[in-house]
Amino acid sequence: MLKGCGAVALPLMLSACSWSWFGLNSPPRAAVHPTGWLSVAPARDFAYVPASSGRVSPNRIENTAMTGIVLKNDINEAVRNGIVSRLQIAGFHLTEGKKILSGSIEDFTVDDARSPAFWTLKMRYVVTDATTRKVVFSTTKTVRQKSPKFTSNTIAIEDTVKLSVDALIGDPGFVKSVN
């Protein structure tokens, strides 16, 4: 008898998963980000401070487990491109030249002596009015990204930059400065 009930009850329970009036199977709402208008400065305007001070080469991220992670391109270029990508995905209009986003990469390290690895990015963001050349907004955001020890460096860098830009987008002062 239980077998017979199971044969009837199972299809009914599975069909209940599609009942939209329960609200259990409704699509997730997209995250709403504030948007604005700005231009992003070229990579040369995103100074990589550890390289400027001579601590590392321009294409190297400090690593606790070895001498460093070396990229084909310079760190400032990778970070700048990640910022542009994330701002576009978030809905910012990057063709307007009245406000310019630049900054400096104050610290970018990875601690992968143990698993998981922790990527840390300390980024100073600056928004400048293009006509007056005055700084209208400035902030420093520090983020820490946990990733598997043997992950792709490119993916870990992109994820870390994404977190940093998300912290910037969440700052009401930044949103106000680009609107």
Give the model confidence (pLDDT) of 55-72 as tens digits.
889 998 888 776 678 888
Question: Is 59 among the domain residues?
Answer: yes
Q: pTM of the full predicted structure?
A: 0.77
Report yes or no: 92 and 36 within 8 Å, Cβ to Cβ: yes
Instruction: Give the structural domain span for 83.
Output: 36-177
Question: Is 12 among the domain residues?
Answer: no
Question: Is 168 among the domain residues?
Answer: yes
Residue with token string 């063709």: 95
Task: Mark 15-28 as b/e (b = at least 16 C-beta within 10 Å).
Answer: eeeeeeeeeeeeee
Question: Is 20 among the domain residues?
Answer: no
Q: Looking at the 3D structure of the chain, how many domains does it have? A: 1
Question: Is 56 among the domain residues?
Answer: yes
| pLDDT tens per residue across span 67-102 | 678 888 999 999 999 999 999 999 998 987 799 999
**H-run or E-run covering 126:** strand 117-129
Question: Is 80 among the domain residues?
Answer: yes
Question: Is 57 among the domain residues?
Answer: yes
Residue 86 is part of a domain; what is its CATH number?
3.40.50.10610
Question: Is 1 among the domain residues?
Answer: no
